[in-house]
Amino acid sequence: MKHRKLIAVGFFLFLFFFSGTQSLIAQRKAFSFQNREELDFRPYHFGFSLGFNQMNFALKPAESLRELNNDNPGDPTYGSFYTVRPEPDLGFHIGIISNLKITSMLDLRFVPTLAFGDRSIVYEYQKATSNQVDAGVIKQKFEVTTIEFPLHLKFKSVRINNARAYVLGGFKFSTDLSSNEYKDEGNEGTIYSRSAKNDFHYELGLGFDYYFPYFKFSTEIKAAFGLQNLIRKGAITYPMFHTSIDRLNSKSIMISFLFE
């Protein structure tokens, strides 16, 4: 549900700014005046970005949770697992833009970014006690503070007065400063599963550039998909938590506002 809400918010933001651009274009058609025209000819320029994001996992459970439960038949605390699923949360990010012009329609962009957020894994289990079945839920939250180093190619449309559209794609490396991969379980409490500190992603996105008299403003949405299996061993006492996950990849959606 949160995922759908975030997409809806991004969609309406783009509609808002796009409709505003069309109004500006209509008002200025008679004058055909282009703001910040020199930006299109500079070999490079800089800026900054900020926005909000939704971080999540792409989780593939173990092939058979039934077999996993048979390997741990006598666990008095958690009994049998029947669902392991990810749960997203919202965060925010800030970045610095470095833009290198390759052609009139193609730019190379490097945007080091600091991103904050949360994501969780939810374990649902059931156990038989006193001739009845008790159900329980454990939610493990992963706090995320990543430094990201994305490298993108930005493909731009023809500029129409003071607006243009673009698409982008590329790869990024990220390192999670809040990762629990090497944290001491004694200080953190029970660490049911651990996630790797470093990851590689591919990214795809689209946006709109708006040229104002003193700066260029852009709205952008992009999705990132992690390539590395992040799952690592957790608590030795309860190995079924991390063994219930076959593959764990990161994924995120970012809505950004850029000033150049």
For the ranges 24-28, 63-67, 158-162, which has the lowest average pLDDT?
24-28
Look up the pTM and report it: 0.78
Average pLDDT over residues 200-224: 95
Average pLDDT on 12-33 reads 49
Whole-angstrom distance, CA of residue 198 vs CA of residue 185: 20
Q: What is the DSSP secondary structure assignment for residue 160, as one 8-state letter?
A: B
Are the beta carbons of 124 and 80 closer than 8 angstroms?
no
How many other C-beta atoms are found inside a 10 Å radius of the C-beta of residue 150?
Answer: 23
Q: In this structure, what is the dihedral angle of CA atoms 251, 255, 259, 260, given to the nearest 10 degrees?
A: 50
Type and span of the H or E element at 97: strand 80-103
What integer pLDDT is reported at residue 103 of this predicted model?
A: 93
The pLDDT tens digits of the residues spanning 90-135 come to 999 999 999 999 999 999 999 999 999 999 999 887 765 555 556 7
- Asked whether residue 34 carries a pLDDT value surpassing 60, the answer given is yes
Split at pLDDT 50, 70, 90, the class of 40 is confident
Confidence bin at 20 (pLDDT 50/70/90): very low
Cβ neighbors of 66 (< 8 A, separation 6 or more) are none
Q: Which tops the pLDDT comparison, 120 or 36?
A: 120
Q: What is the CA radius of gyration of the chain?
A: 23
Domain 2-62+91-119+142-225+250-259 adopts which CATH fold?
A: Porin (2.40.160)
Answer whether 189's CB lies under 8 Å from 140's CB.
no
- Residue 190 sits at φ, ψ, to 5 deg, of -70, 120
Confidence of residue 69 (pLDDT cuts 50, 70, 90): low
- Cα-Cα-Cα-Cα dihedral sign, residues 197, 240, 83, 187: negative
pLDDT at 156 over 60: yes
Q: How do 80-103 and 163-176 pair as beta strands?
A: unpaired
Secondary structure (DSSP) of 57-85: EEEEE-S-HHHHHHHSTT-TTT-EEEEEE
Q: Is the Cβ–Cβ distance between 226 and 199 less than 8 Å?
A: yes
Per-residue confidence (pLDDT) for residue 7, from 0 to 100: 53
pLDDT digits (tens, 9 = 90+) for 167-185: 999 999 999 999 988 887 6
Q: What is residue 188's predicted lDDT score, i.e. its pLDDT?
A: 59
β-pairing, 163-176 with 216-226?
Answer: unpaired
